Amino acid sequence: MTKLEPEILQNLLKGILTKHSDELDCGGCFAKLEAFAEQELEGRNVDDAMPLVRMHLDECSGCCQEYEALLDALKGVQAAH
């Protein structure tokens, strides 16, 4: 079993204790990714329009990778038309 360094443990606990009930989980974020990506491609300020999605993407590398892949796919569709 690997021992957690005190700094890593402190950061993990801080993250757990600072979660808010209105934050999105991965499922909630995934449900909003298409709208988020489309708004970004339209040039809208998605950080202000959908702050909970932005916050989740900043914290969750898995969802962020999904978002970037979706954004790339939508850009490809736009370029083809």
- Tens digit of each residue's pLDDT (9 = 90 or more) over 9-40: 776 766 666 555 578 899 999 999 999 999 99
Instruction: For the full predicted model, state whether its pTM sits above 0.75.
Output: no
Tokens of 46: 């998605």
Alpha-carbon gap, residue 39 to 28, rounded angstroms? 17
Which residue ranges make up each domain of the chain?
A: 22-80
CA distance 43 to 3: 46
**Rounded mean pLDDT, 32-49:** 93
Measured at the CA of 58, the angle between CA 48 and CA 66, to 5 degrees, comes to: 100
Burial of residue 81 (number of CB atoms within 10 Å: 0-12, 13-18, 19+):
exposed
